[in-house]
Chains A and B, each alone.
Chain A
């Protein structure tokens, strides 16, 4: 499988961490918590759209609410393929960071 792009990976992981409560607003919030960066709504949806097309997440509709202008919340969950993808990213990350010469950052 092809590797995910960085933003795709972050979005996918956020969805996984949210475990069923993942929709646009919460995903964006989670990303802020994890990375400290405020992504624009568009910046979340672009990679989200792609990983959905790739079949890594699937979506289902909630109930319409007035706060959303009468629209429902669209929840996303990670599929089996998505899980495989995350595992692959983890392995790749570990092997990339493994045995790297000291960067001078010590985590206690």
Chain B
């Protein structure tokens, strides 16, 4: 045989090396070499090399399939093991899965909340180029953003700037709509006829190009249903009554499809903008009159900056016309951010204002719960790993690489997380989301993975994050044990594992924070319900007159009833109605809230006049030049005795004759502002307030309703009890408290489950030790003390950390939302600590008890 050996091509050999599993590699590569050499002998090394390459490539498919085949078999093996393990520790598995799925359910709702807020108004095709024009009004307290803008601004912008493709103004006026026997109050939204070209609201019936002209009306889907049922309303005529007494008929020539859920503004009835000026007999070109919104559509969004810097010329036009309200500048707000910023804008058209604080707190509670659940899993898998040492040892001995063990454990974890995810989605869909929707009006969240692709993406990311987050550390830790140590019995998972303890401490801290949160918010809801409104709201019935000149008749009709203690009229409503004006005092301008009221107003509402006097029927000059201010106003002006001081309104002087105690005209999320109250003539009143005798309130209200129907049969009756005016707000407060309590309780349960799992496993590990102790005569309580000690130390440590952190956080939250709130007492912290320790104690004790009644013989037998 030829002694000089040629060598097979190294590259091809390397390729084969990589392709073949170790079992096959040895003999197959040997075959390759053997044949290579025999060919090299016979036909020369060139041909042999060619053959080698050719044969290698030809063999690739088969080797590849071989490798995959065995990969699949291992996968099946791992899955079998995974399920077997899951079933072995049924208790802790269930604990973990339930905890994680509850956390996932809550996170889903948090995500939907964030998603809703972030993606509002994105469905408009032109969204990127639509801007809202805002006015900035100067105030002593700083600049205030307003959504309302002068009526002529829109058309002027289009006329002066070629960059403005079109404009759409929006205004809302209440009116009465009637079709055959159906009469309802509706809010009429007047829009310019480019409305459907600028915004994307698809029509169900009607031609986009023919609507919003002349005497035509467009209805929303729900409004059409209300008046016409399932019929097509096109061509039908309805009568409308807006502003003055004249009723006009209009033709329905469009019905919009159901508005998308993430639209920030809605409409019920749409009419052409020009019609509004006609019906209200107002001037087109009046720069003192505002419209609720002016939108512009630019050809290109990048031109917004150029436009912004050129808006100043309109400022002087506006300010010349309008003495009382001086605008400092006009701004352009992209449609994209309008809804998110709506909490900053006054007088805008966005329906749901969401404060950034709310989004943040909801997101963080979801995150907290997830962290808790993941920590649980990490802790429990670390400790339960000690039961699987033998399995790992054998695997390693049989040639398993560390990587494949890590993959095995990680894979088990992902299967587990998938189960939890499924349960979590179900929980979210049928429990948490409906719960949230019912607690907070106006939200209608749906957990629909098929429709909401962002939700699907979120869930996938969640799966990967929780799978890796909760599985990586245990997998790495467990796979690191050396088989020799395992079989020698030398490797024990230290029960004093610092990592486990830190995780548990973290869980305690999180639970305490959430508990403090929950308790404080419950306290707050309670406080909000019982806080003094600044006036006496019980026994008062308020009736919106809806039109001027109705007060005298109704007042006379009602006054004579023996159950009526007093009546009064006003132009504004006490409760969610803010009318602001600009006044001048001591040479400075101020924006204040105004009320125009009549005789007996303060008595009827039980408002206390602290200094001076109320309006006097006998004193004729009261109507001309007297005003009453609230305490906040006096404080603002730094007047100790405001009586007799002078202010200017619309260039006319008024003199303060009294100071009224501050009253809440809106709910406690808003600070009470300076209020100025004028005496108004009775013809101007829009509200009648009636104070009834105690116990006779409902009777009186029925009487008033009867009288109303006699006097004004064509107008719907909208009287309400004054003490219900903040009902929606108070219910919302209770809902917030409920939600936070729910998450606090969930976190408590998760933490207890974590403790439960830990204690169970830690006791099991120490059964030998405990059995020996028991045999030697230790009592249950001493054993209990042993185990408790560890947990108590962790608990105290966590408590010390948690208290200042939660104090800071909860103050932050409360301040950002409420202007009037209770002071933090020690109660929430005490309660949180007690709840936590009791739950933990019960959990630990129950397990200890179970352990103590076990027969020590069972555990000592093997030795």
A-to-B contact residues, CB < 8 Å: 23-25, 28, 40-43, 45-46, 48-50, 59, 65-69, 71-74
What is the CB-to-nearest-CB distance from B72 to chain A, in angstroms, rounded to a whole number? 12
Q: A49-B66, A71-B30, A72-B30 are in contact. Are A25 and B35 (CB under 8 A)?
A: yes
Tell me how far the C-beta of A106 lies from the nearest C-beta in chain B, rounded to whole angstroms. Answer: 36
Rounded to whole angstroms, the CA-CA distance of A85 and B207 in the bound complex is 78
Q: What residues of B have a CB within 8 angstroms of the CB of A41 in the complex?
A: 28, 31-32, 55, 59
Whether B35 lies near A46 (C-beta < 8 A) is no
Q: Is the CB of A49 within 8 A of B30?
A: no
Rounded to whole Å, the gap between the CB of A68 and the closest CB of chain B is 4
Contact yes or no, B26 A46, CB < 8 A:
no
Contacts known (A41-B59, A42-B60); A67 close to B28, Cβ less than 8 A: no
What are 29 inter-chain pairs, A to B, with CB distance below 8 A?
A23-B27, A24-B27, A24-B31, A25-B31, A28-B31, A40-B62, A42-B59, A42-B61, A45-B20, A45-B27, A45-B28, A45-B59, A45-B63, A45-B66, A46-B62, A49-B21, A49-B24, A67-B34, A67-B38, A68-B30, A68-B31, A69-B29, A69-B30, A69-B33, A71-B30, A72-B30, A74-B26, A74-B27, A74-B30
List residues 1-55 of chain B with CB under 8 A from any CB of chain A: 5, 8, 20-21, 23-24, 26-35, 37-38, 55
Q: How far is the CA of A68 from the CA of B13 in the complex (A)?
A: 13
- CB closest chain-B residue, reference A24: B31
Question: Are A45 and B24 within 8 A (Cβ)?
Answer: yes
A71 touches B63 (CB 8 A): no
Query: A67 to B33, Cβ gap below 8 A?
Result: yes
Residue among A42, A43, A50, A69 facing the most chain B CB atoms (10 A cut-off): A42
Q: Which residues of chain A have C-beta atoms less than 8 A from B31's C-beta?
A: 23-25, 28, 41, 68
Interface flag for B65 (CB, 8 Å): yes
A49 to B20, CA, bound (A): 11
**Binding site secondary structure of chain A:** helix
- Contact B26 A71, beta carbon cutoff 8 Å: yes
- A51 to B31 Cα, complex, angstroms: 19
Interface-central residue, B62, B63, B66, by most chain A CB under 10 Å: B62
Q: Does B58 contact A (CB under 8 A)?
A: yes
Name the distance in Å between A53's Cβ and chain B's nearest Cβ. 9
Q: Which residues of B contact A65 (CB under 8 A)?
A: 34
Residues of B within 8 A of A43 (CB): 58-59, 62
The verdict on A68 contacting B24 (CB below 8 Å), with A42-B62, A43-B62, A45-B63 known, is no
Q: Is the CB of A40 within 8 A of B30?
A: no
Q: Which residue of A lies closest to B21 (CB)?
A: A49
Docked Cα-Cα span, A41 to B55, in Å, equals 7
Interface string of B578-589 (1 = CB under 8 A from A): 000000000000
The answer to whether A50 and B69 touch across the interface, beta carbons within 8 angstroms, is yes
The answer to whether A71 touches B58 (Cβ under 8 A) is: no
Known contacts A43-B59, A46-B62, A66 near B28 by CB under 8 Å? no
Contact of A42 among B26, B28, B34 (CB under 8 A): B28
Closest Cβ neighbor of B33 among chain A residues: A69
Residue contact A40 to B66, C-beta cutoff 8 Å:
no
Q: A66: which B residues are within 8 A, CB to CB?
A: 5
Give A41's nearest chain B residue, CB to CB: B59
Contact of A46 among B8, B29, B63 (CB under 8 A): B63
* Most central of B33, B34, B63 by chain A CB within 10 Å: B34
Which A-B residue pairs are the 3 nearest by beta carbons?
Answer: A42-B59, A42-B62, A24-B31
Chain B residues near A48 (CB-CB < 8 A): 24
Question: How many interface contacts (CB-CB < 8 Å) are there between A and B?
Answer: 76
Query: Which residues of B are at the interface with A, using a C-beta cutoff of 8 A?
Result: 5, 8, 20-21, 23-24, 26-35, 37-38, 55, 58-63, 65-66, 69
CB distance from B41 to the nearest CB of A (A): 10
Report A-chain residues with C-beta under 8 Å of the C-beta of B37: 67
By beta carbon, the residue of chain B nearest A65 is: B34
Question: Which chain A positions have C-beta within 8 A of B65?
Answer: 46
> In the bound complex, do residue B66 and residue A42 qualify as a contact, i.e. CB atoms below 8 Å apart?
yes
Cβ-defined partner of B23 (8 Å) among A28, A49, A67, A68: A49
Given A45-B27, A68-B30, A71-B33, 6 further pairs, Cβ under 8 A:
A24-B31, A41-B55, A49-B66, A69-B29, A71-B30, A73-B30
Tell me, in angstroms, the Cα distance from A72 to B27 when the chains sit together.
8
Q: Measured between alpha carbons, how far is A46 from B62 in the docked complex, in Å? A: 6
- Most chain B CB within 10 A, of A23, A45, A66, is at A45
Please indicate the chain B residues that have their CB under 8 angstroms from the CB of A72 in the complex. 30
Q: Specify the chain B residue showing the minimal Cβ separation from A38.
A: B58
Contacts of A23 in B (CB 8 A): 27, 31
A66 to B34, CA, bound (A): 9
CA distance A107 to B27 in the complex (A): 39
C-alpha spacing A28/B38, complex, angstroms: 15
Chain B residues within 8 Å of A28, by CB: 31
Question: Residues of A contacting B62 with CB < 8 Å?
Answer: 40, 42-43, 45-46
CA distance A74 to B532 in the complex (A): 95
User: Roughly how many angstroms separate A25 CA and B496 CA in the complex, as a whole number?
Assistant: 59
Residues of A near B38 (CB, < 8 A) are 67
Distance (whole angstroms) from the CB of A84 to the closest CB of chain B: 23
On chain A, the residues within 8 Å of B23 by CB distance are: 49
Roughly how many angstroms separate A42 CA and B63 CA in the complex, as a whole number? 5
Contacts of B30 on A, CB cut-off 8 Å?
Answer: 24, 68-69, 71-74
Complex CA gap A50/B33 in Å reads 23
Bound together, the chains give a CA A67 to CA B33 distance in angstroms of 6
Shortest B817–chain A CB gap in Å is 67
B28 touching A24, Cβ below 8 Å: yes
Closest CB-CB distance, B165 to chain A, in whole Å? 67
Residues from chain B with Cβ under 8 Å of A42 in the complex: 28, 58-63, 66
Partner of A68, one of B34, B58, B66, B69: B34
Q: Which A residue's beta carbon lies closest to that of B36? A: A67
The interface residues of chain A lying within 8 Å CB-to-CB of B63 are: 42, 45-46
Q: How far is the CB of A77 from chain B (nearest CB, A)?
A: 14
Residues of B within 8 A of A59 (CB): 27
Bound Cα distance from A59 to B28, whole angstroms:
13
Query: Which A residues lie within 8 Å of B66 (CB)?
Result: 42, 45-46, 49
B69 to chain A: which residues have CB within 8 Å?
46, 50
Residue of A nearest to B13 (CB): A69
CB neighbours of B26 from chain A (8 A):
71, 74
Name B29's contact: one of A40, A50, A67, A71 (CB within 8 Å). A71
Give, as a whole number of angstroms, the nearest-CB distance from B31 to chain A: 4
Q: How far is the CB of B457 from chain A (nearest CB, A)?
A: 40
Give the Cβ gap from B25 to chain A, nearest Cβ, in Å. Answer: 9
In the assembled complex, which residues on chain B have CB atoms less than 8 Å from the CB atom of A24? 27-28, 30-31
Q: Is the CB of B58 within 8 A of A40?
A: yes
Q: Which residues of B contact A45 (CB under 8 A)?
A: 20, 24, 27-28, 59, 62-63, 66
B55: chain A residues at CB < 8 Å are: 40-41
How far does the Cβ of B215 sit from chain A's closest Cβ, in whole Å?
A: 82
**Complex formed: what's the CA distance from A69 to B36 in Å?**
10
- Selected from B8, B20, B29, B34, the residue in CB contact (under 8 A) with A25 is B34
Q: Smallest CB–CB gap between A24 and chain B, Å? A: 4
Output the nearest chain A residue to B37 by Cβ-Cβ distance.
Answer: A67
Cα–Cα distance between A50 and B5 once the two chains are bound (Å): 34
Residues from chain A with Cβ under 8 Å of B20 in the complex: 45
Q: Which residue of chain B lies nearest to A48 when distances are taken between CB atoms in the complex?
A: B24
Inter-subunit contact A40/B59 (CB<8 Å) = yes
Taking CB as reference atom, which chain B residue is nearest A75?
B27
Report the bound CA distance from A4 to B26 in whole Å: 25
Task: Name B65's closest neighbour in chain A (CB-CB).
Answer: A46
Could you say which residues of chain B place their CB within 8 Å of the CB of A73?
Answer: 27, 30, 34
CB of A101, distance to nearest CB on chain B (Å): 36
Minimum CB–CB distance for B462 against chain A, Å: 39
Compute how far the CA of A19 lies from the CA of B24 in the bound complex, rounded to whole angstroms.
21
Q: How far is the CA of A71 from the CA of B21 in the complex (A)?
A: 16
Residues in B with CB closer than 8 Å to A67 are: 33-34, 37-38
CB distance from B9 to the nearest CB of A (A): 13
Please give me the residue from chain A that is nearest to B66 by CB atom: A46
| A22: min CB distance to chain B, Å | 11
A28, closest chain B residue (CB): B31
